[in-house]
């Protein structure tokens, strides 16, 4: 991977951030989505820091360094794409409340896909990027801003509780599906005959 390809990745991520910002700005009523507002206030910092990093990736970056940077940027892009997907599912005006659509989107994507978590992980990736010895783009003030934003997002109450974004079990074959999702004991008898379940058993000698 070359420096030009790294710059291309950065441009792609900043374009996604611009799209997210435009989609959110078009929402007529987002009062019941406070986490989105918190996220959108911090995305310009991600965008601007990435642009600064792109200006500092020169032709002196070797293949190994570029591969290291690529992994960081791909993680950042993945989080940005997930954020964009969620926002586009929430944005349209429909009968289903926006928060309910947001909750459903997070549940479909799985645990750790709340908008504040995705943004925090984007910022963590950007911080790793600007501290890379090849880039060294950010000033101390920019790094401090990133760390403060990461801290603030980490302290937020989950916009969707983790139990709402737990794994969904799907069964596409034949036969029963026996799942114990909570605590306690589970006893299944899917064939013929009797089933005897006992807890503590005591046997005494005559």
pLDDT tens profile 136-170: 666 678 888 999 999 999 999 999 887 655 544 44
Q: What rounded mean pLDDT belongs to the chain? A: 80
- The pLDDT-based confidence of 85 (bands split at 50, 70, 90) is very high
- The pLDDT-based confidence of 9 (bands split at 50, 70, 90) is very high
pLDDT at 55 (0 to 100): 81
In this prediction, residues 24-32 reach a mean pLDDT of 73
Alpha helices (H) in 91-166, listed in sequence order: 98-109, 115-130, 140-155
pLDDT at 103 (0 to 100): 93
- The pLDDT-based confidence of 92 (bands split at 50, 70, 90) is confident
pLDDT at 195 (0 to 100): 65
The Cα 85–Cα 20 span in angstroms is 9
| Whole-structure pTM value | 0.73
Going by C-alpha positions, the residue among 166, 130, 143, 147 that lies closest to residue 52 is: 130
């Amino acid at each position: 991977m070359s420096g030009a390809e790294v710059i291309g990745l950065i441009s792609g991520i900043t374009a996604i951030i611009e799209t997210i910002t435009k989609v959110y700005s078009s929402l007529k009523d987002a009062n019941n989505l406070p986490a989105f507002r918190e996220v959108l206030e911090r995305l310009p910092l991600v965008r601007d820091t990435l642009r600064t990093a792109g200006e500092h990736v020169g032709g002196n970056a070797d293949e190994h360094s570029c591969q290291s940077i690529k992994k960081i940027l791909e993680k950042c892009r993945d989080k940005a794409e997930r954020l964009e997907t969620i926002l586009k599912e929430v944005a349209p005006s429909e009968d289903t409340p926006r928060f309910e659509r947001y909750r459903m989107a997070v549940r479909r994507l799985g645990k750790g896909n709340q908008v504040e978590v995705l943004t925090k992980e984007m910022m963590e990736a950007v911080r790793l990027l600007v501290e890379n010895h090849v880039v060294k783009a950010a000033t101390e003030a920019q790094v401090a801003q990133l760390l403060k934003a990461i801290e603030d997002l980490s302290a937020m109450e989950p916009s969707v509780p983790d139990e709402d974004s737990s794994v969904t079990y799907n069964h596409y074959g034949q036969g029963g599906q026996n799942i114990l999702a909570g605590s306690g004991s589970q006893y299944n008898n899917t064939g013929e005959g009797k089933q005897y379940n006992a807890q503590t058993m005591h046997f005494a000698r005559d």
